[in-house]
Structure 1
Amino acid sequence: MPDHSQQDRLSGTLLDRRYRIQRRLATGGTASVYVGLDERLDRPVALKIIHGHYAHDPKFVERAQREAKAAARLHHPNVVAVLDQGHTEDGVVYLVLEYVDGPTLRQVIARESPMTARRALELLIPVLRGLAQAHRSGMVHRDIKPENVLLTTGGDVKVADFGLMRAVDEHTSTSSTILGTVAYAAPELVGHEPVDQRCDVYAVGIMTYEMLTGSRPYTGTALQVATSHVSRDVPAPSRTSHGIPGSLDEFVLRCTARDPRARPADAAALLDLALAIQRSLPPVIDSASLDQPTDLIPPSDETQSLPRSAPAYRTVPAAGILPREDLDATRTVAITAAGSTAHRTPEQPRVMLNPQPEPLHLAIGAVLFVLSLALAGFLGWWLASGPGTAAATVPDVSGVPVATAERTLDAAGISNVGVHTATNAQIPAGSVIATDPGASSQVRGIEQVVLVVSEGPAQLDVPLFEGMSLDEARNAISQAGFSVGAVQSRFSEEPEGTVVEQQPASGSKAEEGSAVGLTVATASPTEEVPNVVGQTVDSARESLEELGFTVEVNRPVGSTLDRVIHQREDGDTVILTVF
């Protein structure tokens, strides 16, 4: 977990007389994460403190606790362990997690990408081992991304953030279920379709692409990226970065198939594929340990465009020590990024082992070599200290208007800002719910930070509650995402206690959480007869009948104003005299 110390009101407090909150690591849309100390066992822990507007929702708390219990049963060395959960008397809901003392995969990608196939698999296989255990337990993570993969200082890899994702999905509207994860969201998540373990497989594919190339397949605003996931096929990583084996291209393309049925069924199937690719990679050869001479191969067009980390010249064993089957009648050998002939495809170049250079070729080669050194130097300057690449810390802009948030990010050195909207009943429309990456995360200046901006409460369809009993209507209103408003009684021939009217009417739309008023039937009028003298006859009739009374009109000959000048009651009947 990244160590970005930040003090706030919770730092230094003690939860449930056991967990001492020490410093904040990060803040996200659902919770803040702190380093803490378990004073009973004298060990460091990570404390995830749920934000107040979630913590005060009993339904969310119940679901979160249920999911945390499921995650606590997930024991695997490549999964961050859930150690405890609690709910204090003053309303603080928290999870206690295993503390991981190293960087996130996001930080490793920023430092090492584009990665070699071997390094990418070295990090990916432990992720798949942990995820496979979760999938076997029937769990779906739904938010696989580099920020949720943590490394210990010893190099162990662990998947984090199991346990709350489904509770958040159920608590929020469908348009916010991809909050903060659009860059890795499977098409079915973007389209709000049913999901299973294959949505995690898709996210692993996007993450693998980023590890191999140093960039994500789609850029732009959150809406543009989400649209690309649904409408476009992810390209092979080798189109962006040279030296990637065809087997890893195929791995990424299978993971990111838009049709879930075309992907591996779960992380266990994906793990088998990754292990097979790892076994197929050529062994690493230490050329210094070879006594045989080697030939220098001048850089080809392909090697000129290799990443800065690739050498401009490669050495391969001289013809006398190459396996016989690697040479053909022209004494040529395929060049791959690893210097191996193991996976040559027809389009890969072949070069002479002992070419006879011509003067023009030597001159061109020298020019290209100088240009490659200049390009490498430029890329090194750009990646290390060029404009827009300096590290920046994402500020906490939750709850502030979007224009203010954009100015705050710009002042922090972050100019590439995207906006994604989501419904939210707690945050006012136009204000920021959260950022992706979350507050306190480290990003390069050229990396995009997405502001998740509230659209206000969701507009929901109002179901039909009329005809239900009052208890049935109350339950149905709650399940539909509304609250029960005023309940009135009115005389009706319907069975007593039956809902005879609702407001707003069925088929209309209303804000999530807004009140639905009900009118229920009674066997006889329960209201006192209002005084309607002076009203028009139509207005008087309407108000009396609404209360359940029967209205009779006595209209003397010659009356033309239609005004009530007198009223009297006869049981449930009101007799109006009109002038």
Structure 2
Amino acid sequence: MNERILAGRYRLQEAVGGRSDLWRAHDEALGRQVAVKRLAAGVTEDRRRQLEPEIAKAAGLHDPHLLAVYDAVWEEDVFYLVTEDLEGDSLARYVRDQSKVEPERAVDLICQLAGAVVQAEKNGVYELSIDPKTVLIDEGYLKVIEYGPLATASRAQSTREQIHTVGVLLYELLTGNGWSDLAPTRQVVQDVHQALAAAQVHHSWLPERMESIAHRALGLLAEGGYQSMQELHKDVKAVRHAIGQAADLLGERGQTGSKASAGGVSPVEQVRDTVLGAAQEGMAKVAQVRKMEFVKQMTEKSTPKKRSPLLYALAAVVLVIVTGGLWWTASGEEATTVAHGEFQGKEVKMPNLINKTEQQAVQILTENGFPQNRIQWVYKPTDERLTEGKIYQQSVDPNTQVVTGEQMIVLTVNGTMTDGQTAGESNGSNGGNNPNGQESVTAGVVPDLRGMSQPDAEQMLLKLGYRYSFEIKSGGDTPAGTVYQQQPAAGSKAEQGARVTFYVNQ
């Protein structure tokens, strides 16, 4: 395109990402690179008077994690906004590529994101989106780009949605698993706990604090969920401050450690004691009120209270009776289930399926009594070549006691689906006449999933008794996050337990 100059100073150079409403430009007056975005056309004088205060608020924000607004340009009835020029990738892609990060790194990212929201709200800007698809990250540095006049009405989030977005992001950063609204609460709690237990943390108090923050952000606690982003940010900021304080102390001690060794205590032990003591003291001062409720709940569950010997005797009798009843019930249920389905319904240890192929995993699970209609497949490629075509995540940890046939086993494969893989059992074309997926919900008939979101498609298939696999990749002409292809085709006849594969547009 021929270069064009706005307001006599902004020379438009090239469109960004093939878009027709966003350009890189050069500010001739100040000699710097900027971005120019066309926000609206056909702007009336009344609309202009409404927009100007919003632009002034946005331009008055000075936060490193909010896109800086430099200028507004009005040309006849068209409105342009001049902002800083950014590099980087979307936070959603970063999370997908990283798979899982250390808890300290997750704290830093969440603190940046929540802090941007708090800063915007302090300046009277409440229309804001922190959807990972629209937040940019460059070398670990976050930038929220949709707020105030830059936020579209369809993407601006309520406070509750923002808090939930932070909770989902924290879950994915810690566990490396993709979030599903259909995941049972117990499974989510277990995923977070196991991920933190397996992480190599340098602070003994960190896993407990991270679990509390994740549970409150996701609304998993009956009481005590976050009511505002300020409250959430205060908790995360306190954790990050304690981590930073401990790191500073460790650095200072490292420089003088050789002198301290003469006192009989090794420098490593002194640093450890000082770091942990300072971190715990800092957390107690900064976040004591928020921590009391969580600690109280954990203490009531784990610490026995002093009671009279009579109460202990009564408790022992009740325990024997209840345990006997549960054993009798479980034995009866197991006997009934096994009678109908061989090993199905038997309590076994979950086998280790990591680095196994799909065929190997199916064989192992079948030999252990797991029915194939309780196995779900997710295809999520990574850059790890050693596990290509193999399973690198399983929803139930190895050696965990499970009852076959009762729990859905979700296996994540590094790669994409091919005709030779399990998910390629059905080769029907993507037919059907229902682009919205709202008509065909008859039992025994595959519904039309095209246009549905991933959770809606999962819920529809589960309701009809089908197994399913899905893959997230670019393709089709449906909006991002919606289904654009499926196998078998919509309207095909398939019995309950049959597999339906669908593809979600990235």
Q: TM-score, normalised by structure 2?
A: 0.46
The structure richer in strand per residue is: 1
Q: TM-score, normalised by structure 1?
A: 0.41
In our comparison, the structure showing a higher alpha carbon Rg is 1
